[in-house]
């Protein structure tokens, strides 16, 4: 159809007349041009504020805190997923190398979603190498990548193993590998042992024994295999490797430490004893002794523990062994006074043997406090801290961290906060205070415990030190800011920390947003803002969770907002998030409940254009329900025609929905009666629900005499007595109060027990002022 606007534009251009848009509020009125005066209300109003210079600019949204090079790698993954044109391989290679170079200096493991994207990018580069006939990534950088991948990930994934294995195989096939092969081999074994693939590492070790002998890395390699099998809880392979090492005379103190610690943690004292005494060359180190003594305390076998102590006292004790002796004394029930006496003995003994510098220090005190914490004895921990003060031992950062730990465990948040303030004056290496500081913030965020300003004091201090927040901390702070409607702070918080979480950790933060969105107490405007943050920053969220939020908007009768949520799913690039048939059905049913005909039309149009969705009976049922609820029962007939002409055919729900459409539409009996006759001709069981629906279709079109005759014949024809559902539907479908009185008298006369049940169930008054029985007539697809 020709555009009226186009004709108007050309007419004015040909006659040299100006073009005006009458609805614009910001053009100057022109009496000469328009031939009429305009209201002064439409003229632009100039205002000059006294405080215009002091007006603050709008706060910018913080960009996501991503590792160098990761943005390009993630964009590549997205483009590959949507099958768009991919960037040139040289750009991906630069970003890939930049990422691992930054990670090497950061000393952090890569995350699961990072590993997946890096693996896809590496495969792309490998395919491109076949065409370009040159490697896009240098061997030196691959060696760096192997070093980074050897770090223990917080959440291991298949992508980690695929990436590290692919890189290792490619490296070993390169001619310039000689300078890096020892390091790459060692890092590959470590990486596999951290990823739950120690059996794969063992196969490689058995195949590369000449390589291990060449570089003399046997002791470290087998130690790593023992660690890996120990983490996996694989006792069989742990013992098999250990026995082989012992038979070949290769069993060392490093191997002994792993085995004794492993079986101590498993609670197997017999194997602890066996491997503790297995060493033939030298004495067990202090770490092994500590694990053995802890195993004795855990199993309450003090006899063997005392024999270990007697063996130790036969030789000069080193400082770590004295510390272990004190922990043994604390574990056997010795009080702080007895510990004080042992420390005095330690000082005198070391003085006599010429070791005056090996006196109790803060490491000694911290070891005692840490042991008390492991025994869940905060009182003993506090007394050990006081013991250190008595000895004029200055506490260090670890002391304050331990203080915070045991004080938080008993709910003494004020005490933990005091320890934290002292900790700020100490130098902390490698963010050792990170976990406990996160616990402190989480404890302070408990509602009603601390003022917002007190919490932010700690948060700002942590931000200044660029410490990473844990997922639970980000979750707690997000809830705090959301309740205060501080959306910018929520976005900044997520942009700063959430991209340093694994997918599992991100889901914890995401669930906070979901729970907040599903809270009926929050207002709709805040719900929408929260959803938009959630939608933009948690792109990986699946379909089911998004459908819950869509349902919440429908519950609030906000069909337009629910439609946007649906549209976000429909346009999503991930198959597990894109709208499917069930999504359409839920959306259509929701539009019906919201009675939003405009957005229902948009939804129906999108369904027609969606080539991935083939309408079936359930989907057509949902369309019928939606149009009936939106006051368009005649539109539902078209979908009924599609159902009966389809191979699948109508369901029992389809029949009930069709009769409901006939009830609501004028002259609906003309459609209902042929359908009913067809049902009667089929040898199927007719339920009370279908009987009630047909009665409603007749009653809704004022056929009350037919209704009475039909209901009176139900028991004879179908063996079912008219019940509350059938008669209640008949009563509700009757549209005028005068007709309802006639139906009421008939029910009272013929079916008084049902009328009594109707009165017991109760009545409600509709918006039109008509009384209805409270019965469930909800339709589902």
- Neighbouring residues of 754: CB distance < 8 A, sequence distance ≥ 6: 722, 723, 724, 727, 747
Q: pLDDT at residue 50 above 60?
A: no
Q: Are 515 and 487 in contact (CB under 8 A)?
A: no
- Neighbouring residues of 107: CB distance < 8 A, sequence distance ≥ 6: 151, 430
Give the Cα separation of 571 and 579 in Å (integer). Answer: 8
Q: pLDDT at residue 20 above 90?
A: no
Q: How confident is the model at residue 132 (pLDDT cuts 50, 70, 90)?
A: low
Q: Environment class of residue 262 by beta-carbon count within 10 Å: exposed (0-12), middle (13-18) or buried (19+)?
A: buried
Q: Environment class of residue 648 by beta-carbon count within 10 Å: exposed (0-12), middle (13-18) or buried (19+)?
A: exposed
Decide which of 306 and 3 is more confident.
306
Q: pLDDT at residue 647 above 50?
A: yes
Q: Are 664 and 700 in contact (CB under 8 A)?
A: yes
Tell me the sheet residues that pair with 772. Answer: 764
Give the Cα separation of 246 and 262 in Å (integer). Answer: 17
Tell me the sheet residues that pair with 771. Answer: 765
From the CB of residue 554, how many other CB atoms can be counted at a distance below 10 Å? 24
Q: pLDDT at residue 37 above 90?
A: no
Q: pLDDT at residue 53 above 50?
A: no
Element (H, E) at 230: helix 218-231
pLDDT for 504 = 92
Decide which of 692 and 354 is more confident.
692
pLDDT for 355 = 78
Q: How confident is the model at residue 307 (pLDDT cuts 50, 70, 90)?
A: very high
Decide which of 22 and 644 is more confident.
644
Give the Cα separation of 259 and 256 in Å (integer). Answer: 5
Q: Give me the percent of the chain exceeding a pLDDT of 90.
A: 69
Q: What is the pLDDT of residues 510-537, one digit of tens each?
A: 999 999 999 999 999 999 999 999 899 9
Range 753-756, long-range pairs (CB < 8 A, 24+ positions): 754/722, 754/723, 754/724, 754/727, 755/727
- What SS3 class is residue 764? strand
The alpha carbon of residue 568 and the mean position of all alpha carbons in its chain are separated, in whole angstroms, by 18
Element (H, E) at 93: helix 89-106
For the chain, the C-alpha Rg in angstroms (whole number) is 38
Taken in order 504, 506, 507, 512, the sign of the CA dihedral is: positive
- Neighbouring residues of 280: CB distance < 8 A, sequence distance ≥ 6: 249, 251
311 secondary structure, DSSP code: H
pLDDT for 369 = 96
Q: What is the pLDDT of residues 219-269, one digit of tens each?
A: 999 999 999 999 999 999 999 999 999 998 899 999 999 999 999 999 999
- What SS3 class is residue 18? coil
- Neighbouring residues of 393: CB distance < 8 A, sequence distance ≥ 6: 360, 361, 362, 364, 365
Decide which of 732 and 11 is more confident.
732
Element (H, E) at 503: helix 503-517
pLDDT for 45 = 39
- What SS3 class is residue 514? helix
Q: pLDDT at residue 21 above 60?
A: no
Q: Are 775 and 768 in contact (CB under 8 A)?
A: no
Q: Please count the residues of the chain.
A: 781
Q: How confident is the model at residue 31 (pLDDT cuts 50, 70, 90)?
A: very low
pLDDT for 7 = 53
Distances, alpha carbon 362 to alpha carbons 230, 320, 399, in Å: 32, 12, 8
Among the residue ranges 34-48, 172-186, 562-576, 590-604, the one predicted with the least confidence is: 34-48
Q: pLDDT at residue 668 above 50?
A: yes
pLDDT for 423 = 93
Q: Environment class of residue 716 by beta-carbon count within 10 Å: exposed (0-12), middle (13-18) or buried (19+)?
A: exposed
pLDDT for 203 = 95
Of the candidates 557, 572, 478, the residue with the CA atom closest to the CA atom of residue 520? 557
Give the Cα separation of 228 and 246 in Å (integer). Answer: 19
Decide which of 50 and 745 is more confident.
745
Residue in this structure with the two tokens 């009830």, named with its chain if needed? 663
Tell me the sheet residues that pair with 765. Answer: 771
Decide which of 759 and 769 is more confident.
759
Instruction: State both tokens at 184.
Output: 């790459």
Which phi and psi angles does 765 have, rounded to 5°?
-105, 125
**Mean pLDDT (the chain, rounded):** 88
**What average pLDDT does range 12-23 have in this prediction?**
54
Query: Whole-structure pTM over 0.95, yes or no?
Result: no
Q: pLDDT at residue 558 above 90?
A: yes
pLDDT for 18 = 61
pLDDT for 32 = 36
pLDDT for 9 = 58
Residue in this structure with the two tokens 């002022």, named with its chain if needed? 769
Taking each helix axis from N to C terminus, what angle separates 112-132 and 70-81, rounded to the nearest 10 degrees?
80
Among the residue ranges 167-181, 454-468, 607-621, 767-781, the one predicted with the least confidence is: 767-781
pLDDT for 154 = 87
**What average pLDDT does range 399-413 have in this prediction?**
95
Give the Cα separation of 392 and 269 in Å (integer). Answer: 38
pLDDT for 23 = 42
Q: Which of 126-135, 277-286, 631-640, 684-693 has the highest mean pLDDT?
A: 631-640
pLDDT for 17 = 58
Q: What is the pLDDT of residues 574-607, one digit of tens each?
A: 899 999 999 999 999 999 999 999 999 999 999 9
Element (H, E) at 773: strand 771-773
pLDDT for 2 = 45
Tell me the sheet residues that pair with 763. Answer: 773
pLDDT for 465 = 86
Q: pLDDT at residue 33 above 70?
A: no
Distances, alpha carbon 63 to alpha carbons 70, 112, 463, 477, 533, in Å: 13, 22, 16, 19, 13
**Strands, E, within 308-374: which ranges?**
none
Of the candidates 720, 728, 716, 715, the residue with the CA atom closest to the CA atom of residue 755? 728
Taken in order 755, 758, 759, 764, the sign of the CA dihedral is: negative
pLDDT for 12 = 56
**What average pLDDT does range 629-658 have in this prediction?**
93
pLDDT for 357 = 75
Give the Cα separation of 333 and 681 in Å (integer). Answer: 88
Among the residue ranges 460-464, 753-757, 768-772, the one predicted with the least confidence is: 768-772
Q: Are 484 and 492 in contact (CB under 8 A)?
A: no
pLDDT for 480 = 93
From the CB of residue 695, how many other CB atoms can be counted at a distance below 10 Å? 27
Q: pLDDT at residue 768 above 70?
A: yes
Give the Cα separation of 159 and 117 in Å (integer). Answer: 9
């Amino acid at each position: 159809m020709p555009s009226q606007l186009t004709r108007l534009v050309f007419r004015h251009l040909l006659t040299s007349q100006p073009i005006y848009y009458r609805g614009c509020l910001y053009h100057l009125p022109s009496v000469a041009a328009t031939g009429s005066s305009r209201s002064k209300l439409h003229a632009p109003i100039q205002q000059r504020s006294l405080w215009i210079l002091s007006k603050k600019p709008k706060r910018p949204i913080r960009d996501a805190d991503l590792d160098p090079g990761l943005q390009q790698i993630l964009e590549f993954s997205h483009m590959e997923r949507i099958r768009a044109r991919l960037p040139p391989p040289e750009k991906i290679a630069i970003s890939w190398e930049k990422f691992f170079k930054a990670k090497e200096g950061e000393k952090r493991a890569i995350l699961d979603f990072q590993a997946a994207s890096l693996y896809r990018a590496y495969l792309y580069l490998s395919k491109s190498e076949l065409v370009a006939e040159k490697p896009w990534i240098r061997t030196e950088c691959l060696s760096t990548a192997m070093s980074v991948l050897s770090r223990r990930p917080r959440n291991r994934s298949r992508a980690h193993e695929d990436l590290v294995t692919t890189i290792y195989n490619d490296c070993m096939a390169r001619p310039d590998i000689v300078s890096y092969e020892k390091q790459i081999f060692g890092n590959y074994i470590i990486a596999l042992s951290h990823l739950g693939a120690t059996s794969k590492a063992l196969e490689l070790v058995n195949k590369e024994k000449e390589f291990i002998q060449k570089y003399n890395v046997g002791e470290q390699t087998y130690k790593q295999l023992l660690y890996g099998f120990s983490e996996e809880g694989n006792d069989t392979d742990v013992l098999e490797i250990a026995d082989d090492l012992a038979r070949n005379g290769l069993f060392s103190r490093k191997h002994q430490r792993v085995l004794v610690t492993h079986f101590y943690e498993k609670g197997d004292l017999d194997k602890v004893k066996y491997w503790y005494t297995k060493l033939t060359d030298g004495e067990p180190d202090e770490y092994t002794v500590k694990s053995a003594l802890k195993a004795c305390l855990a199993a309450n076998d003090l006899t063997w523990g005392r024999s270990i102590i007697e063996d130790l006292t036969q030789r000069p004790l080193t400082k770590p062994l004295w510390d272990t002796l004190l922990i043994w004394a604390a574990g056997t029930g010795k009080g702080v006074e007895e510990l004080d006496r042992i420390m005095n003995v330690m000082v005198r003994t070391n003085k006599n043997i010429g070791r005056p510098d090996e006196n109790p220090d803060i490491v000694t005190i911290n070891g005692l406090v840490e042991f008390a914490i492991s025994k869940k004895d905060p009182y003993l921990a506090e007394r050990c801290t006081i013991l250190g003060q008595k000895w004029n031992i200055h506490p260090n950062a670890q002391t304050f961290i331990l203080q915070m730990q045991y004080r938080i465990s008993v709910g003494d948040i004020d005490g933990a906060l005091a320890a934290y303030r002292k900790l700020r004056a100490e130098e902390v290496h490698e963010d050792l205070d990170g976990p406990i500081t996160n616990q402190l913030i989480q404890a302070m965020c408990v509602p009603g415990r601390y003022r917002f300003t007190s919490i932010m004091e700690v948060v700002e201090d942590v931000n200044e030190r660029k410490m990473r927040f844990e997922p639970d901390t980000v979750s707690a702070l997000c809830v705090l800011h959301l309740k205060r409607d501080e959306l910018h702070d929520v976005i900044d918080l997520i942009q700063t920390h959430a991209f340093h979480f694994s997918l599992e950790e991100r889901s914890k933060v995401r669930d906070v947003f979901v729970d907040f969105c599903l809270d009926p107490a929050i207002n709709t405007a805040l719900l929408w803002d929260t959803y938009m943050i959630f939608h933009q920053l948690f792109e990986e969220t699946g379909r089911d969770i998004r459908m819950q939020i869509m349902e919440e908007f429908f519950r609030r009768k906000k069909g337009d907002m629910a439609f946007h949520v649906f549209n976000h799913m429909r346009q999503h690039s991930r198959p597990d998030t894109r709208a499917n048939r069930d999504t359409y059905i839920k959306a259509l049913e929701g539009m019906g409940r919201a009675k939003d005909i405009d957005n229902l039309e948009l939804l129906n149009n999108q369904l027609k254009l969606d080539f991935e969705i083939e309408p079936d009976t359930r989907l057509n049922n949902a369309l019928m329900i939606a149009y009936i609820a939106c006051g368009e029962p005649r539109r539902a007939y078209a979908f009924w025609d599609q159902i009966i002409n389809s191979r699948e055919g109508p369901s029992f729900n389809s029949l009930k929905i069709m009769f409901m459409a006939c009830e609501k539409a004028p002259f609906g009996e003309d459609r209902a009666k042929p359908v009913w006759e067809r049902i009667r001709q089929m040898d199927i069981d007719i339920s009370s629900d279908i009987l009630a629906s047909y009665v409603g279709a007749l009653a809704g079109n004022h056929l009350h005499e037919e209704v009475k005759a039909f209901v009176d014949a139900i028991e004879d024809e179908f063996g079912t007595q008219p019940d509350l559902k059938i008669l209640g539907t008949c009563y509700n479908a009757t549209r005028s109060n005068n007709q309802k009185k006639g139906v009421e008298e008939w029910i009272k006369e013929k079916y008084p027990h049902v009328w009594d049940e109707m009165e017991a169930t109760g009545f409600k008054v509709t918006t039109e002022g008509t009384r209805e029985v409270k019965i469930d007539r909800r339709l589902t697809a």
